Structure 1
Amino acid sequence: MLQNLSKNLTVLFLLFSMAAHAQNGTVKGTVRDANGPLAGATVQVERSNRGGYTNAEGQYSLSLPAGKHVLNFSYIGLSPERREITVVANETVSADATLIAGSLNELVVLGSRALPRTQTETPVPVDVIDVKRIVGDAPQVYVNQILNYIAPSFSSGTQTVADGTDHIDPASLRGLGPDQVLVLVNGKRRYNSAIVNVNGTFGRGAVGTDMNAIPTSAIDRIEILRDGAAAQYGSDAIAGVINIILRSTVNRLSVNVTTGANATSKADGLDGETVQTSVNYGIPVGSKGGYVNLAGSYDYRNYTNRAGDWEGALYRTYPPAAGVDKTDSFLTANNKTRADFKMRVGQSAIRGGQFFLNSLFPMENGGEVYAFGGIGYRNGQAAGFRRLPHESRNVLDIYPMGFLPEIHSDIYDKSLSVGIRGDLGEWKADLSNTFGQNKFIFSVVESLNASLEKASPTAFEAGGPTFTQNTSNLDLSRRFDVMDGLNLGVGAEYRFERYQLVAGEENSYADYGRARKIGVDGTGKDILVPDFQGPVNTRFGPDGVARPGGAQVFPGFRPENAVNAARSAVSAYLDVEANLSSKFLIGIAGRFENYSDFGSTLNGKLTTRYKLSDGIAIRASASTGFRAPSLHQRFYSTTSTLFVDGIPYEVGTFTNDSRPAQLLGIPKLKPETAKNFSAGFTGRFGKFNVTLDGYFTHIEDRIVYTDQFSGSNAPGASPVDREIYELLSLANANRAAFFANAINSETKGVDLVVTYSTKLGGGTFRGDLAGTWSGTTRVGPVKASPKLAGKENIYFSEASRIYLERSVPRQKVNLSLSYNVRRFNVLVKNVYFGPVEEATTTVIYQQEFDAKVITDIALGFKITKEVKLSIGANNLLDVYPEEVALAGNKSNNQFIYSRRATQFGFNGRFIFARIELSF
């Protein structure tokens, strides 16, 4: 495939050379604001596909055909400027621009293959987040954190006691799932994480994209398209699209060092210590605006702990029927307190580094060769549920006090996109290939395999998944001077995906206390042969319960879980936008996609915008969409320990073509399909800019992760329940869960954005008010098979309903106020997080947690032109979520705050200091 791509790139390069314009002139200039030259400002040639960005000195250079042209200059947060120029062949024309304070006027490319437009002129809502500015002021240092506090329609939170999900934050756009938003980098599809969320968190059953794997030092800005866009960009874009645009500055070394910790009333001293060091440097290439921009970061984040002192029995005598709580005497004899046995409930510890590259190499004929990508590594460390001394899950000879097992992860990322673009006659062409891979390897430490008893090791390699994606694209676009301008985009895509799951070492999954009976000896005793999957238990703990096999907290993946599955998808799209007049725009898009494992799908989108005046417009869109089931959801299988209301179960996840799935009548997965509708208003009223958009999304056959089914070997059990029991026993499990197209859902909401910017007292004041009001509900019956009649509440449980509808805030409002004057700047931000609900199947344990307001503040001072110092705080007032009210949700007082609801976390006040160097 790569050899064919190389041939295609060579052919296209030759075509570009043949199509080069001979009679060109040059336009050069500098773009400034009140403080000096602007690096990274956009220069766009009106009614053409030409343009570029300014370098570190605010300078640009364009080669244009002789004749009259109109240049549009723009920069995030500043009002654009429009200049008319005349280009003379083989001569140079100067065109400078000075931009003044403004808002909502950034040029965006997402959502259209026509020329970039300002946010208030797009037919669908698009947010633009200036990351390179925000990272200098905000307390947050990771992409998901930044977006959670800046973009109200975006929700993400750090999870706790959730296995690998502790290390990758699931994210939501407009309240939909992590796998229903498509992530792009420089307009190219980003690969998904290898891990699928199967624990008690928001996004349960979903596979998201790990945006935290991209260092903020590499990012210029982020565009968020808040509208269904599967007809334009393909699978996953049901909720919208996030496009991460990388930096392209040159001749400037930027170093940013942030350090901080949680200083809160709920912790003894400081915890959650954080250090991030990030670097960016750009090297100019040639004299036509080429560059190689290099970015990297090193991150360290320590864990936090908000667990309470252990309540309930820590040590019991046996047999269980007459067991006595001996906790007090146990603590006295060992000189311990209940505080010594608390779990670790809070953010996990993470250490890692990332490196990213973004490059562009102009050619003599006006074409460009580009490449970008990165590599990264992170090590995560999180804890599970504590194992008590007297349990069969503990071996007293190894851990006399019991133990707190830890799940560690080694996460590897690598990506590379290469391409060539330029003019083919009147067409603009872009041929590219994008490769990406995420590997997630688990290890378990401070643990044991209880079935090995005192011979057990305490550390295990548990295996893990790898996801690989390779996407080849050919995109063509052209503008026709008919009506008031017509833009046509066509293209094709070939995508290859591979999902691999590697088994762990034997002692990480094996149950050495299992055996099978092969006969009876002369004394009438059973003759047993050791067998990891045998039906007979031979080793028991002091509580009389059979000792479980596998590493405690996370049994390793078994050889039968190992998989190496692949698929491919071919697609073609057509995207037309017609300016019927200077006021009326209409767009039509269609996309055909064929998957090797699911067949074909055809989707379309209609957009329109009408300008009521120069500053006021109405807009609307309607579209269909889809999301193909991920390979993870089709082929992931494992057995792990899950705690349900504090009770441990060995839960097996089985594929949809497994025997247990067939017995229960669970069908093979099929794509989710969606219908999207939105309508809105945009307006500029003096220094105020306003956008208001309402939306509706209906999703058919939404994929969920079921609750746990169990078989039975009781005397009156049905044959099906008996067979399920036996199959689960062979997998060392006593319950089973599956991925299934279980429900339909509807999402309704309204997004509001109001911005204001003005000169004030020698400086610039800016205010941003943004809010979202949304709600997702299940509609229609649960789509369970006749075999599951009466078990619909397991197929889609109450906990699953709450994860879908109420585990992230339905309302979020962000008010940001900033003021910059000479060397000083101040930022004050208040975020309202709406109420959320405890996700549990037990109705009496369900609880709604009140809305809260979190206040951030940052103060910055430029010591010199090259050095800036900032200090501030996230959650300045040390606000915590409402506490869990019912003991049944607290698990012996360990979960003071809900671990199932994603609101804003429970780390408390975080104070930070930052130094920025720019040379």
Structure 2
Amino acid sequence: MSNLHFDSAAQSVRFPRSALALACLLAPLAQAETAATDDSRLDTVTVISTGVRGAQRTVADSPTPIDIINSDQLLKTGRAELSEAISKLLPSFNFGTNIAGFQSSVRPLSNRSLGPAYTLVLVNGKRRHNGSIPASGSIDNSGANAVDIDMIPISAVSHIEVLKDSAAAQYGSDAVAGVINIILKNSSSGGHYESSYGKLFSGQGETLKLAGDQGFTLGDGGFVHLSADARKRGTAGWIDKADPGYRAYFEDDRQAAWDRVAVKNGDPDLRAFNLAYNAELPLADDLKLYSYATYGERKTEAYNNYRLPNSNASIPELFPDGYYPLNNIKDTDYQFLFGSKGESLGWDWDASTTYGRNKNQQSSDLTINPTYGPASPTSFDDLATLQFEQWVNNFDITRRFDGVFGLKVPTQVSAGLEHRWERFRTFAGDPIAYTVGPYTYPATLADGSPNPLYQLANGQTAVGAQGALTIRPEDEADVKRNNYAAYLDFGFDVTDRWYIGTAGRFEHYDDNSGNTFSFKLNSRYELTDQVAVRGTVGSGFRAPSLTQTGFTVTDNRTALDANGNVVPALRRTVAPGSAAAAAFGGQALDPEKSRNAGLGITWQPAQRTSVTLDAYLIDIDDRIILTENLYDRANGSGAVGDLLESVGLARTTWINYYTNAFDTRTRGLDLVADHTSEFGAFGDVRWSAAFNYNKTTLRGTRATPADLAAAGIAVVGHGREGDLVAASPRTKWVLGANWTLGNFAANLVNTRYGKVETWQQNAAQDRSFGAKWLTDLDLSYLLFDSVTVSVGGTNIFNVRPDKNGVYNANGNQTAYGNPPFHPGGGFWYTRLAYDF
């Protein structure tokens, strides 16, 4: 892979704030013909491998839309980690918020309004292993365990190729919406070291980052490139205080002195580091060995809702003033790859093996199991552990022929085999965290007066460690499977102007997912030297994630009831094929199947100007999602309580499971424009604009069993529908200008996020949150040809989402809904970097 000399036409964008900025963009486009004739065209320098098998192609020659992000752009996104940085730079991606609980450290990165499970992540062209946490919360309730991109150090990244098209026929399951291919740095000399510091405008979220990478020579003509980063981020919250009438204490004097902080959800405290190497060693002219590895650890501390002194989670002897349960989460992630590549009998070949593991450990420094009363521990070192492993073996060959099948057409033939082994396991924690102890509230206090806590529920306390995810021995999961795949890919250069590509892939799963065949047909035709059209049709397949099939868990947290109120809840997520799920209409999961089509046009009227426009349609059948919370609205005395009791669960349990819920159709449009203007003594400005329109609709919904429907309960109802069709912005603009003048550089980015909606089970509780413009600014100056000093800010006008959530008297934790951008407001930073 050659190094990037400058950005491709489909890169991220930099542009001013108002609508006037768009007019400023269009004016330089008209001046494009005056650009210097000795400059290379944008499309002839950046070479990509994603989306094609075999020979590499330039971005503009690609028959499918490709975006390129380079390392400099990633570093200029301020406080962002890798996944959030991608969302800031590409309009079709959105980074959801997830501000509470055990999922706080892993946040969803959606592409074309489809969750992260539908975009395949590669590193150096090889499949990246998944994380271990099922998606549950924010706008992604699919239960899929997405790749934890933030465990890859940004300092290790040379650039990222983003294929915005289905590629399941080429790369396999999960590539329904596209592919993110992270290319690691591969230089044998030089390096980059930097430090940065910043805070939210509110003074919270203090962030410190240290990062560095350096290349070294390996053998004769080889390299090893080492990278590392470390980051620290403080807690940040932005939730209102409780209503003055909301009571935390029985006594009036203590209530009057209370600070009314009942909710502390927000960004968790974070400590993390990542390490990586990338290496290659030539052994002969036609044989090379290569390897890479990444290792990361991340510790987070997330607050939960206040357990009030006057609630049945209170044990006054331990915490007379109540307590905020803490989720302490440790993620450990690593992947290593070894491979060789060369040439034999006219064929280029590549063989590799890679193993990755992600482990998530749950503990708490501040929680209790109230059923053990004053004897309860106040901290738990082991609440639950989740672990995902993946081992992938690949063998690929490719060769260019002057013609095949009797056709005198230059043809690239590629083929390959893949074996993938996956395993998902969960491990039970401390029994005191999930068992029911002997304690009940006494009817009277020591002075003989009535105990107000006894009056709450006839002496019964809340059950289990509070604000915690717990796994019981009977809920431990250990599911694994093998996948065997073979693909064949042809690329035909029919004429100098016309390219046709076709691919087919057969996959066999040794579990219920069975066999599948996916195909892809794409083409590109140059109408003129400046204008080309391209299009794609194909099919895809996504097997249920092992987390979706095997995850069973109990958590004691607050939840939203059918009317949108925040209430305590003992929630059980059960496996789809279990007896408990079957009682509520559950059954074994079917694979998701997709069909896609795309049509686009590229226009390069001059050497420094590029415009691309691509429309797409994606149909997905049997999309998997978590059911609504199914519970007895008669407080356990109704028909749902009978069902729960029949499967051995408490009548007041809230139950849910993963199910094939919806058939969906996603339609959209991507527009990218790019131009560089020369202003002589006033420097150069690279103008960019990108736009995404995206709409998902339902084509079918699974039915609710008659007995549940009679009780007024929908297995998948209005709330889950809203996650798919309304929670992501339908439009997103990213406008920018990148001005360079000698050693000075300024990047200005303006992003408009369209309206989003948060739907509840009760449609009367739906809320809408209006469109917002956010502006980022980065200023830098180069000293001594090697030291760069930068200052900047993200969301410099401190824009917040509309405060329109469902009102809760205890502090409106849903005030901002689930915005597609960080709700904490503006963030400033400084950065010092050394390059050599």
Q: TM-score with structure 1 length normalisation?
A: 0.82
Deviations 1:99-149 (A, max 9, x none): 65847952111000132222222111110111x211443324411121111
2:107 is the counterpart of 1:155: no
Where does residue 116 of structure 1 map in the other structure?
Answer: 56
Do the aligned partners of residues 650 and 109 (structure 1) sit closer, same or farther apart at CA in structure 2, a change above 3 Å counting?
A: same
Where does residue 585 of structure 1 map in the other structure?
Answer: 499
For the 8 Å contact 1:372–1:418, the answer to whether it is kept is yes
2:277 is the counterpart of 1:337: no
- Superposition pairs of residues 189-200 of structure 1, within 5 angstroms: 189-200=127-138
For residue 817 of structure 1, what is the amino acid of its counterpart? A
Where does residue 644 of structure 2 map in the other structure?
Answer: 724
CA distance in 2, matches of 1:660, 1:633: 15
Deviations 1:801-833 (A, max 9, x none): 111112121211101210112110000000001
For the 8 Å contact 1:105–1:120, the answer to whether it is kept is no
Partner SS state of residue 168, structure 1: coil
CA distance in 1, matches of 2:654, 2:130: 28
In structure 2, which of residues 652, 669, 677 is the aligned counterpart of residue 758 of structure 1?
677
In structure 1, which of residues 718, 729, 739 is the aligned counterpart of residue 658 of structure 2?
739
2:78 is the counterpart of 1:139: yes
Partner SS state of residue 794, structure 1: coil
Aligned length: 784
Where does residue 12 of structure 2 map in the other structure?
Answer: none
Displaced runs of 4+ in structure 1, greater than 6 A?
Answer: 712-716
For the 8 Å contact 2:8–2:67, the answer to whether it is kept is no
- Superposition pairs of residues 82-101 of structure 1, within 5 angstroms: none
For the 8 Å contact 1:214–1:354, the answer to whether it is kept is yes
For residue 153 of structure 2, what is the amino acid of its counterpart? P
Partner SS state of residue 543, structure 1: helix
Partner SS state of residue 271, structure 1: coil
Do the aligned partners of residues 497 and 791 (structure 1) sit closer, same or farther apart at CA in structure 2, a change above 3 Å counting?
A: farther
Where does residue 819 of structure 1 map in the other structure?
Answer: 739
For the 8 Å contact 2:96–2:818, the answer to whether it is kept is no
2:193 is the counterpart of 1:271: no
CA distance in 1, matches of 2:350, 2:518: 23
Where does residue 613 of structure 1 map in the other structure?
Answer: 528
For the 8 Å contact 1:256–1:915, the answer to whether it is kept is yes
In structure 2, which of residues 544, 554, 559 is the aligned counterpart of residue 643 of structure 1?
559
In structure 2, which of residues 804, 810, 814 is the aligned counterpart of residue 892 of structure 1?
810
Where does residue 462 of structure 1 map in the other structure?
Answer: 383
In structure 1, which of residues 188, 201, 225 is the aligned counterpart of residue 163 of structure 2?
225
Where does residue 700 of structure 2 map in the other structure?
Answer: 780
Q: Any gaps of 5 or more consecutive residues in structure 2?
A: 10-37, 441-451
For residue 218 of structure 1, what is the amino acid of its counterpart? A
Where does residue 298 of structure 1 map in the other structure?
Answer: 230
In structure 2, which of residues 447, 451, 462 is the aligned counterpart of residue 548 of structure 1?
462
Where does residue 27 of structure 1 map in the other structure?
Answer: none
For the 8 Å contact 2:43–2:60, the answer to whether it is kept is no
Where does residue 445 of structure 2 map in the other structure?
Answer: none
Do the aligned partners of residues 695 and 902 (structure 1) sit closer, same or farther apart at CA in structure 2, a change above 3 Å counting?
A: same
Partner SS state of residue 333, structure 2: strand
- Could you say what the CA RMSD is over the residues aligned between the two structures, in angstroms? 2.4
For residue 435 of structure 2, what is the amino acid of its counterpart? A
Partner SS state of residue 121, structure 1: coil
In structure 1, which of residues 827, 844, 848 is the aligned counterpart of residue 764 of structure 2?
844
- Superposition pairs of residues 602-751 of structure 1, within 5 angstroms: 602-640=517-555, 641-644=557-560, 645-686=565-606, 687-710=608-631, 722-727=642-647, 729=649, 734-751=653-670
- Superposition pairs of residues 553-568 of structure 1, within 5 angstroms: 553-568=467-482
Deviations 1:500-534 (A, max 9, x none): 1010111111111499xxxxxxxxxxxxxxxxxxx
For residue 894 of structure 1, what is the amino acid of its counterpart? N
CA distance in 1, matches of 2:419, 2:339: 15
Higher relative contact order (CA 8 A, sep 6+): 2
Please identify, of 583-592 and 202-211, the stretch whose mean Cα deviation from structure 2 is larger. Answer: 202-211
Where does residue 260 of structure 1 map in the other structure?
Answer: 198
Note the C-alpha offset of 1:446.
Answer: 1.6
Partner SS state of residue 549, structure 2: helix
Do the aligned partners of residues 455 and 490 (structure 1) sit closer, same or farther apart at CA in structure 2, a change above 3 Å counting?
A: same
2:829 is the counterpart of 1:916: no
For residue 848 of structure 1, what is the amino acid of its counterpart? S
Do the aligned partners of residues 117 and 541 (structure 1) sit closer, same or farther apart at CA in structure 2, a change above 3 Å counting?
A: farther
Note the C-alpha offset of 1:160.
Answer: 0.5
For residue 337 of structure 1, what is the amino acid of its counterpart? D
Deviations 1:671-709 (A, max 9, x none): 000000100001101232011000000000110100122
For residue 828 of structure 2, what is the amino acid of its counterpart? I
Q: TM-score with structure 2 length normalisation?
A: 0.90
CA distance in 2, matches of 1:654, 1:406: 24
Please identify, of 640-649 and 194-203, the stretch whose mean Cα deviation from structure 2 is larger. Answer: 194-203
Please identify, of 567-576 and 545-554, the stretch whose mean Cα deviation from structure 2 is larger. Answer: 545-554
2:193 is the counterpart of 1:238: no
Note the C-alpha offset of 1:714.
Answer: 9.5
Where does residue 307 of structure 1 map in the other structure?
Answer: 239
CA distance in 2, matches of 1:857, 1:328: 50
CA distance in 1, matches of 2:636, 2:813: 39
Note the C-alpha offset of 1:294.
Answer: 0.4
For the 8 Å contact 1:484–1:579, the answer to whether it is kept is yes
Do the aligned partners of residues 866 and 327 (structure 1) sit closer, same or farther apart at CA in structure 2, a change above 3 Å counting?
A: farther
CA distance in 1, matches of 2:623, 2:367: 37
Note the C-alpha offset of 1:784.
Answer: 4.1
Where does residue 507 of structure 1 map in the other structure?
Answer: 432
CA distance in 2, matches of 1:685, 1:658: 60
Please identify, of 233-242 and 547-556, the stretch whose mean Cα deviation from structure 2 is larger. Answer: 547-556
CA distance in 1, matches of 2:373, 2:92: 51
- Sequence identity (%): 28
For residue 544 of structure 1, what is the amino acid of its counterpart? A
CA distance in 2, matches of 1:53, 1:202: 36
For the 8 Å contact 2:263–2:810, the answer to whether it is kept is no
CA distance in 1, matches of 2:730, 2:305: 30
CA distance in 1, matches of 2:503, 2:144: 28
Partner SS state of residue 329, structure 1: helix
CA distance in 1, matches of 2:594, 2:455: 54
Note the C-alpha offset of 1:326.
Answer: 5.0
Where does residue 310 of structure 2 map in the other structure?
Answer: 390
Partner SS state of residue 456, structure 2: coil
For the 8 Å contact 1:782–1:792, the answer to whether it is kept is no
For residue 660 of structure 1, what is the amino acid of its counterpart? A
Please identify, of 117-126 and 566-575, the stretch whose mean Cα deviation from structure 2 is larger. Answer: 117-126
Note the C-alpha offset of 1:909.
Answer: 0.9
2:353 is the counterpart of 1:413: no
CA distance in 1, matches of 2:646, 2:399: 63
- Superposition pairs of residues 173-192 of structure 1, within 5 angstroms: 173-192=111-130
Partner SS state of residue 260, structure 1: strand
Note the C-alpha offset of 1:485.
Answer: 1.8
For the 8 Å contact 1:310–1:893, the answer to whether it is kept is yes
Do the aligned partners of residues 544 and 664 (structure 1) sit closer, same or farther apart at CA in structure 2, a change above 3 Å counting?
A: closer
For the 8 Å contact 1:389–1:401, the answer to whether it is kept is yes
Partner SS state of residue 272, structure 1: coil
Do the aligned partners of residues 733 and 113 (structure 1) sit closer, same or farther apart at CA in structure 2, a change above 3 Å counting?
A: farther
CA distance in 1, matches of 2:663, 2:79: 36
CA distance in 2, matches of 1:205, 1:792: 25
Q: Any gaps of 5 or more consecutive residues in structure 1?
A: 1-51, 55-73, 80-97, 317-324, 516-538
For the 8 Å contact 2:77–2:88, the answer to whether it is kept is no
For residue 419 of structure 2, what is the amino acid of its counterpart? Y
Deviations 1:212-241 (A, max 9, x none): 111100001111111111111111111111
Note the C-alpha offset of 1:377.
Answer: 0.4
CA distance in 1, matches of 2:67, 2:234: 32
